[in-house]
Structure 1
Amino acid sequence: MKTLVVAGHGMAGHRLVSELRSLDTAGSWRVVVLAEEPHPAYDRVALSSYLDGRSAADLALSGPDADADADPMVDLRLNTRVTAVDRDTRTVTTTTGEAIRYDALVLATGSKPFIPPVPGHDLPGCFVYRSLTDLDAIRGAAVPGRPGVVIGGGLLGLEAANALRLLGMEPHVVELAPRLMPLQVDAAGGGVLGRRVEERGLHVHCGVATASVQAGPDGRASAVALADGTALEAAVVVFSAGVRPRDELAAPAGLPTGERGGFLTDPLCRTPDDRIWAIGECAAVSGRTYGLAAPGYRMAESVARQLSARPAEPFTDPDMSTSLKLLGVEVASFGDAHAHTEGSMALTRLDASAGTYAKLVLSPTHTLLGGILVGDARAYATLHPFVGHPLPPAAHHLLAAPAPAA
């Protein structure tokens, strides 16, 4: 029997184990899963719901690696991280000091929060928003009725702001870009999103850098100073300014990394070592990393098929679309949302009174290339499947002017 070691037990690592156990009907692989966190894999996308009444058990992902006794072919070890990879002896060393031999190794180490190196970033009262443990720490420090500041206005930043709101705090969001969610929405969509979340009690500060985190008399973070001279009172500061791939195992093991980090792989998620793969946020597939769950799932499924000697599709052109509700505001972004395709044109409709924005990006032949929906994303389910195809009739209704009031 061969041994597969999976370094990491996030959503991608969990999907890999589930897929492999489903495909490995002959029982060829014994799987050792080394999980750094004290919890089995959980739904990180729904992290903020942990502060809205759901428990760690509610967020747990079901499968053969859900607990230590669920499947005799899966050995799940919590609180255990890989510290070194020896490619010559095909062993990994763990934080417990144990050396585990592998026939195949899948690196699924995920990513870590990026903390801007501003003065005071490491004061007590400063947190990151990444794991259940982080949320437990934020919950313990939250002071209902007091201001809290989130550094970063992307997807995770708005989730973190919502978490502070659920804890009874008054959240502020500081974003260096001129709008919230700059990767997903354009200027007009960001304007609508900003107004809608401010109506729900969020204070938005865009287009300004964080200068420092200031300490109070007790030595804890008490305020955030912005580059424009503004000082924001803060009982809690949460950094959510992006993530970086966890690829620290690469250099000591002689594995290459991408230009922006991550274990460098080919389109089948294979590193130059034919016994080592990388999946999820730590993988730089053909040099590019991906921060969403869906691409990580595709990588995991491909590697599971390879390990079970089945045909596998190369990982190309992943779907990076998003559709979600942030602080009660629906947002969807899909395809070429920013009209980067040469010759493309954008059709937009802004309804200020309703607080909605719709944008469709079309090719010269009226092929749907992508779009943005803010405030009302009900059309996403209809439009998204038509990316790369002629514009559907629903799009014309979406962009039509509203009927005049009676």
Structure 2
Amino acid sequence: MTRTLVVVGHGMTGHRLAERLRALDTSGAWRIVVLAEEAHPAYDRIRLSSYLTGGSRQDLALAGRDFTEDPRVDLRLGCAVVSGDRAERTVRTADGEQLPYDALVLATGSEPFVPPVPGRDLANCFVYRTFDDLDAIRGAARRGRPCVVVGGGLLGLEAAHALRLLGMRPHVVESASHLMPTQLDAGAARVLHRSATGLGLRLHCGTAVASIEAGPDGAVRAVVLGDATVLESDLVVFAAGIRPRDELAAALGLERGERGGVLVDENCRTADEHIWAVGECAAVQGRCYGLVAPGYGMAETVAGRLAGRSPRPFDGTDTSTSLKLLGVHVATFGIIHPRGGPAAEAVFAEGTTRYAKVFLEPESGRLLGGILAGETGSRTALGPFVGHRPPADLEQLLLP
């Protein structure tokens, strides 16, 4: 008998889950109903800036015809879920339809965090999340004019770089003392800082937006910082972090994590054995993850469980990343936020052009992970040494 899986959300993680279950479910035991709030099938948010600077929506599409035309898949666009009944095992959409499920996966993702500053609702204040957001930003952008991006993390720097390519003159405001504070330490951030300023981005770290001021037309005219600096600006883009979309937890009577997110165990299952959560909306053993790689790991775990396999439980200790940002290669590998106490550290650097730091287990000397910035060694080459004592030529591997 065919069972029904309902996936709420068709972002990158929700799509990965559906794709993996399609691949693993060789007997056709599952019918997959995907309820997408947006009017577009899943697309690559990591490359969203390429759309702002001239790419097409199709360039970023993740769902091919093999997915959308699969008779086992029922993809419904513009179909938001507002509530559910766990006893009846149904969810209710915004238009009132009741849909039954045998298993339910919440993959609702996150929403941009907009700091509660005066003026945040003025015309030409935007977030940076969807195709529609970027269409609005492109329409407001004017060559040669200043703008402000709130947030110096990965998304904020991507947004600032894209606005620069549109001909604007971006300021970046980051409340932490350096760029990308979640992924990088101060040493690695200095390499990125050097490249960013070389490209013309004007960086303001260690301060926050105090208010946004309106011009005579009611649109953004200036941004006032906490240190009293006034930045002339035609538009503001908020890229200051995300918050999990966990409102369905309350609607379904499910517990949330202390800092938000649908609370799940190491297998991404809630206290209700029929309901799971993956991606940015999930609080795995209380912790939310704002990167796509952990979301894909959760999707693999849940798809394996639904297919009757015995996948490894999700282990979020390794949040390795690798990207090129503002012309700088940035990577992390292994564990860079060790749990259970401090780790020994070793730093290898050449001014502000390249930087490497490794974390070592104090007693055994085993390599735990590391941070790389600039023209350093490959994360792929260093990864196999994680969990072992590093080789004698470690410095040569880090800074070849």
In 1, Cα distance between equivalents of 2:340 and 2:188: 19
Contact map agreement 2:67 2:73 (CA 8 A) in 1: no
For 2:38, the equivalent position in structure 1 comes to 37
For 1:141, the equivalent position in structure 2 comes to 140
For 1:359, the equivalent position in structure 2 comes to 357
For 1:386, the equivalent position in structure 2 comes to 385
**Offset of residue 188 of structure 1:** 2.0
Contact map agreement 1:174 1:206 (CA 8 A) in 2: yes
Map 1:220-259; keep pairs closer than 5 Å: 220-259=219-258
Q: Is 1:332 the equivalent of 2:323?
A: no
Contact map agreement 1:383 1:392 (CA 8 A) in 2: no
In 1, Cα distance between equivalents of 2:25 and 2:379: 37
Aligned amino acid, residue 206 of structure 2: G
Contact map agreement 2:147 2:236 (CA 8 A) in 1: yes
Instruction: Give 5+ residue unaligned stretches, structure 1.
Output: none
In 2, Cα distance between equivalents of 1:237 and 1:275: 42
For 1:157, the equivalent position in structure 2 comes to 156
Change (3 A) 1:82 1:367: same
Map 1:104-143; keep pairs closer than 5 Å: 104-143=103-142
Q: Secondary structure at the match of 1:249?
A: helix
Alignment RMSD (CA, Å): 1.9
Runs of 4 or more off by more than 4 Å in structure 1?
Answer: 63-66, 338-343
**Offset of residue 341 of structure 1:** 6.7
**Offset of residue 64 of structure 1:** 6.8
In 1, Cα distance between equivalents of 2:33 and 2:281: 19
**Offset of residue 117 of structure 1:** 0.3
Q: Secondary structure at the match of 2:254?
A: coil
In 1, Cα distance between equivalents of 2:105 and 2:338: 36
Contact map agreement 1:295 1:318 (CA 8 A) in 2: no
For 1:312, the equivalent position in structure 2 comes to 311
Q: Is 1:205 the equivalent of 2:204?
A: yes
In 1, Cα distance between equivalents of 2:28 and 2:269: 23
Deviates more, 1:333-342 or 1:51-60: 333-342
**Offset of residue 248 of structure 1:** 0.6
Aligned amino acid, residue 226 of structure 1: L
Q: Give deviations 1:63-121, integer Å, cap 9, x for gaps.
A: 57743xx2011111111111111112211111222111111111000000111000011
In 1, Cα distance between equivalents of 2:25 and 2:342: 48
Q: Secondary structure at the match of 1:259?
A: coil
Change (3 A) 1:159 1:377: farther
**Offset of residue 168 of structure 1:** 1.3
Q: How many residues align?
A: 398
Change (3 A) 1:368 1:176: same
Contact map agreement 1:213 1:221 (CA 8 A) in 2: yes
TM-score by length of 2: 0.94
TM-score by length of 1: 0.93
For 1:10, the equivalent position in structure 2 comes to 11
Q: Give deviations 1:286-333, integer Å, cap 9, x for gaps.
A: 111111111111111111122122223211244211111111121112
Contact map agreement 1:339 1:346 (CA 8 A) in 2: no
Instruction: Give 5+ residue unaligned stretches, structure 2.
Output: none
Q: Is 1:89 the equivalent of 2:88?
A: yes
Identity of matched residues, %: 61
Contact map agreement 2:349 2:355 (CA 8 A) in 1: yes
Contact map agreement 2:192 2:326 (CA 8 A) in 1: no
In 2, Cα distance between equivalents of 1:232 and 1:95: 42
Aligned amino acid, residue 228 of structure 1: D
**Offset of residue 340 of structure 1:** 7.0
Deviates more, 1:23-32 or 1:248-257: 23-32
Contact map agreement 1:29 1:73 (CA 8 A) in 2: yes
Change (3 A) 1:93 1:196: same
For 1:28, the equivalent position in structure 2 comes to 29
Change (3 A) 1:65 1:205: farther
For 2:175, the equivalent position in structure 1 comes to 176
Contact map agreement 1:17 1:64 (CA 8 A) in 2: no
**Offset of residue 277 of structure 1:** 0.7
Change (3 A) 1:302 1:337: closer
In 2, Cα distance between equivalents of 1:396 and 1:326: 24
Deviates more, 1:45-54 or 1:278-287: 45-54
Deviates more, 1:47-56 or 1:78-87: 47-56
Aligned amino acid, residue 356 of structure 2: A
Q: Secondary structure at the match of 2:59?
A: helix
In 1, Cα distance between equivalents of 2:149 and 2:173: 6
